[in-house]
């Protein structure tokens, strides 16, 4: 038992099939036959989705503040490699994914002190991780759906051992973020001043990279290695478009990640597609809405400022 989901990419496919006849495109995307029965089978998946939304939304705040989206992508590639090795060896895929993510996080944290060095390290890790993952997926002779799920996400009915792994790792990530939240916020906003006031900036940076590695490994289980940015970057980036408040920013980021994750899962239950296209579409739509609102707010503020300046000049 490798701990991977026991269902096919779409909930409706293979659970309640209609005799193998191809459905139309819309039916494959938004088919809701027997939805109530499928929803009852997906309670553990919805719980896992809520945990990942919470983890992704909170960790994403620091990914944006510290300019680490490229690092997230690099870590996800080695997470994919670790999961592929575990799948090939018949081991727990979540454990393999976590091992790969932590290895990448340590390499990036130790070798990439400066931003330029970090990007170079990530650029080296990404193709290596992707190539290693492709190698072991090619050697794996099991179900093709397992291969596809590592890349694009496949959780529909999560096995109990996997739920325990996801829950335990999520608790570790959330506890670590809670413990370092205030000093990490200070160090992310102004590292020079934070260091001058005795904040262990270097240690916090390394610790956060490890936490980020765990968060990436968790999110890979749901949306796949290729689309992990939709949980760890897009919600926080959307929230940053509408607020700069240190309180509202993480709250909005978590809310956007939860809506994307749970909404994507609920839509995926009725179709025959992996969950990731639904999650990424909702996440992107939220970002577009927030960006448009931010642009409108900036224009309104500019008009008010221009009117005020004109009134003072006239006076």
What is the share, in percent, of the chain residues with pLDDT greater than 70? Answer: 76
Please give the angle made by the CA atoms of 11, 16 and 21, to the nearest 5 degrees.
Answer: 100
Q: What pLDDT, on the 0 to 100 scale, is given for residue 274? A: 79
DSSP states of 25-47:
HHHHHH--TTHHHHHHHTHHHHH
Confidence label for 82 from pLDDT (cuts 50, 70 and 90): very high
Residue 275 has pLDDT above 90, yes or no: no
Q: Within a domain: residue 10?
A: no
**Which CATH number fits the domain that encloses residue 187?**
1.10.3470.10
Q: How high is the pLDDT of residue 99?
A: 93
Q: What is the mean pLDDT of residues 122-150?
A: 82
Task: Domain count for the chain, please give it.
Answer: 1
Domain that holds residue 82: 33-314
Has residue 19 been placed in a domain?
no
Evaluate whether residue 23 is within a structural domain: no
Domain contains 24: no
Does 166 map to a domain? yes
Examine the pLDDT at 241 and tell me if it is beyond 90: yes
108: confidence class by pLDDT, cuts 50, 70, 90: confident
Across the range 119-134, mean pLDDT stands at 86
* pLDDT tier, 219 (very low <50, low <70, confident <90, very high otherwise): confident
Closest CA to 234 of 259, 268, 206, 262: 259
107, part of any domain? yes
With a cut of 70, say whether residue 144 has pLDDT above it.
no
Distance CA 301, CA 210 (A): 40
- In a domain? residue 15: no
Q: Distance between CA 35 and CA 104 in Å, rounded?
A: 40
Looking at residue 313, its pLDDT comes to 55
In this prediction the pTM is 0.81
Q: Which residues contact 200 (CB under 8 A, 6 or more apart)?
A: 183
Q: Which residues of 153-184 are buried (b: 16+ CB within 10 A; e: fewer)?
A: bbbbbbbeebbebbeebbeebbebbeebeebb
């Amino acid at each position: 038992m490798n701990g991977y989901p026991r269902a096919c990419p779409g909930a409706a496919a293979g659970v309640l099939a209609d005799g193998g006849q191809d459905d139309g495109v819309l039916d494959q995307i938004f088919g809701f036959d027997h939805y109530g029965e499928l929803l009852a089978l997906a309670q553990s998946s919805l719980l896992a989705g809520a945990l990942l939304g919470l983890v992704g939304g909170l960790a994403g705040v620091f990914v944006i503040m510290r300019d680490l989206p490229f690092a997230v992508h690099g870590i996800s590639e080695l997470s994919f490699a670790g999961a592929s090795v575990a799948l090939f060896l018949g081991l727990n895929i979540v454990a393999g994914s976590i091992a790969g993510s932590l290895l990448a996080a340590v390499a990036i944290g130790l070798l990439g002190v400066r931003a330029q060095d970090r990007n170079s390290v990530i650029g080296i890790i990404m193709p290596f991780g992707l190539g290693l993952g492709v190698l072991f997926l090619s050697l794996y002779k099991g179900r093709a759906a397992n291969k596809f799920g590592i890349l694009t996400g496949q959780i529909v009915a999560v096995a109990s051992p996997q739920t325990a792994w996801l829950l335990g790792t999520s608790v570790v990530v959330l506890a670590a973020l809670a413990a370092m939240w205030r000093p990490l916020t200070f160090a992310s906003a102004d590292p020079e001043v934070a260091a001058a006031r005795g904040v262990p900036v270097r240690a916090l940076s390394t610790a956060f990279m490890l936490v980020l590695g765990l968060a990436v490994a968790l999110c890979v289980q749901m949306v796949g290695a290729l689309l992990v940015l939709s949980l760890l970057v897009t919600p926080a980036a959307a929230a940053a478009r509408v607020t700069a408040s240190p309180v509202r920013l993480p709250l909005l980021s978590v809310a956007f990640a939860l809506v994307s994750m749970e909404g994507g899962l609920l839509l995926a239950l009725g179709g025959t597609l992996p969950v990731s296209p639904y999650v990424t579409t909702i996440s992107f739509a939220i970002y577009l809405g927030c960006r448009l609102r931010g642009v409108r707010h900036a224009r309104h503020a500019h008009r008010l400022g221009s009117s005020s300046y004109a009134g003072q000049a006239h006076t």
